Amino acid sequence: MESIDMTVQNIEKIGALFPNCITETKDANGKLKKAINFDLLRQMLSGDVIEGDEAFEFTWVGKKASIVEANKPIRKTLRPYKEESVNWDSTENLYIEGDNLAVLKLLQESYLGRVKMIYIDPPYNTGHDFVYPDSFVMDNEDYSEGTGYRDENGNINYSRENSVTSGKYHSDWCSMIFSRLLLARNLLSDDGLIFISINEIEQANLEEICNEVFGSENHITTFVWKNKYGPGAFTKGVASLHEFILCYGKNYPSNVEATLSDEEMSKYKMTDDKFEIRGGYITQPLATRSKDDRPNLVYPLIHNGKEIWPNKQWIWEKKRLYDAYDRGEVVVNEKNGNYSVRFKQYLKDEHGVVRKGKPLSLLTFCFNQDGTKEMEELLGRGVFDFPKPTELIKYFLSLRINEKEDEDFIVLDFFSGSASTADALMQLNAEDGGKRKFIMVQVAEKCPQGSVADKQGYQTIPEIGKERIRRAAKKIAAEHPDAKFDGGFRVLKLDDTNMKDVYYAPADYQQNFLDQLESNIKEDRTDLDLLFGCLLEWGLPLSLPYQSENIDGCTIHNYNDGDLIACFDENIPDSVIKAIAKRQPLRVVFRDSSFAGSPTKINVTQIFKELAPDTSVKVL
């Protein structure tokens, strides 16, 4: 019941490519394990003899440790909280509370390569940011005490600031974001995009880290967002008016397109009765002075019996230009013997679908103040500082990555904060009928004592985020009464594994331990806890439809119509076992105490061999 050991997986991948680089070593307990001969591997990847230690790289104190931490397995799970959720049985959205490094590890199996877009707004390292514990050797309480993050009352110590003279000022931040991005990349689909908001303090470092994690060739652009109306804060005598949003792809998508703004669409004023379904059009030049010399683009256009030659070359090949001319999609103007040749660029395609444009690197259509106003309308003034405006995130959500939109469009935000991403996603789904689904992840950071949020009864940041989603969904439903969108979410919280810790040395055992080990599952864990632990272990998505029913007095949990069926009751009768087997689920789970003894377990195995031979059976 541990998350996947990324180091072991990486060694296996390298071994598949370079089996001669695999060797053996002993772990801390003296057991043999696979390892890599790095000297040999380096030589295998080079045609020259490698000498010296110099290399072109970006590094910092703690970089190697952050890689180890990202790969290290953990004994944790995600526990469902149905009472805090909305539309638990049917929603496909998730809200997860807990440290995002651990959560990203737990999502590796269920969401590997399935997330279409990631947007995060991580701490900017301004000196007042939350310190994320990256070592699971010590618990969070010890970590907070050691770093001075919390005071003696458990509140965030805002007087503790990073100092620019501290050797850890940038290194700690780099380690924090690096380990998380390593794991996040695994979750992105091949055509997925990640957007990361940042300011000038760590922008340069973040770009270097992203170049290493995603590859510099996958750097789409760095958006510059004018985020303030007025002059804003002054930095070294210069008014700061912008932030950055770094955009990277998993594999560089050359066809990223954006929804046209109202201002852009208003330019398509000219009409053409012949192509009425395509709306208005604008004209674009067909000739170019490109430095790229291509002889196949140099030819005459015959217009009214005259040859019109480009000054250098056309942008289209001959057949394409001639076909467009014959269809009446080319406009030729003459003035003083000089010809201008342009093509009609229509607002809509032949099916009436509005065209997409290319994303602009300079964003000026929304501001920080808009995000603040949205939060005030939903939760009141001062509940959450500096939330991102939903219009900004909607712009990124609306970017089209493939010609055919993917139905399984999962959006992840693992620095969720006030849940602006969830709000934006629901708005856009209501507007365009999309099926985007969100996964919000937020550490259970306490609201500062005496703050507006604290006075209004919000104890943690997740409480603010969840309430915002609830209220935003109601507001969107009122504004779009005919729209069908998913306004619910399942709440899951990070916790220790469901299984008891049974790793004791022989000398540590006492007689009463035998009673405690009668069941290997912790006493406070529910059926749903066990079910979702199995989903993580089997790598099933956590947002599929769920229903439960009663058969002969036993509770049967049916996940996604037979992807997994579970029953955790005591002494399950054969009639229930047979009823489950007849449904032929892909997977079935019981707990050890569900059976009176080994003969009963053998009987269960036989029943499934006869009635559902392809079903995978697991006993906890």
Read off the pLDDT of residues 358-395 as tens digits, 9 standing for 90 and up.
788 999 989 999 999 999 999 999 999 889 999 999 99
Instruction: Give the residue carrying structure tokens 């100092």.
Output: 163
| Segments of the chain assigned to CATH 3.40.50.150 | 76-260+357-495
- DSSP per-residue string spanning 565-597: EEE--SS--HHHHHHHHHT--SEEEE-GGGSSS
- In this predicted model, which residue has the larger pLDDT, 321 or 399? 321
Q: For residue 43, what pLDDT is reported?
A: 73
Q: What is the pTM of this model?
A: 0.79
Q: For residue 154, what pLDDT is reported?
A: 54
pLDDT at residue 510 is higher than 70 = no
Q: For residue 354, what pLDDT is reported?
A: 78
Tell me: the pLDDT tens digits for 248-278?
998 866 567 777 777 778 888 888 877 778 8
Portion of the chain with pLDDT greater than 90, in percent: 56
pLDDT at residue 482 is higher than 80 = yes
Its CATH architecture, for the domain 76-260+357-495, is 3-Layer(aba) Sandwich (3.40)
Binned at pLDDT 50, 70 and 90, residue 353 comes out as confident
Q: What is the mean pLDDT of residues 234-239?
A: 76
Lowest mean pLDDT among 120-129, 293-302, 600-609: 120-129
pLDDT at residue 551 is higher than 80 = yes
- DSSP per-residue string spanning 255-324: T-BEEPPHHHHTT--B--GGGGGG--EEEEE-EE--SS--GGG---EEETTEEE--SSEESS-HHHHHHH
Other CB atoms within 10 A of residue 224 CB: 16
Binned at pLDDT 50, 70 and 90, residue 135 comes out as very low
Q: For residue 233, what pLDDT is reported?
A: 67
Tell me: the pLDDT tens digits for 269-312?
888 877 778 889 999 999 988 767 888 999 999 999 999 999 89
CA within 13 Å, CB half, 249: 17
pLDDT at residue 516 is higher than 80 = no
The DSSP symbol for 139 reads -
Q: What is the mean pLDDT of residues 163-170?
A: 50
Binned at pLDDT 50, 70 and 90, residue 426 comes out as very high
Binned at pLDDT 50, 70 and 90, residue 156 comes out as very low
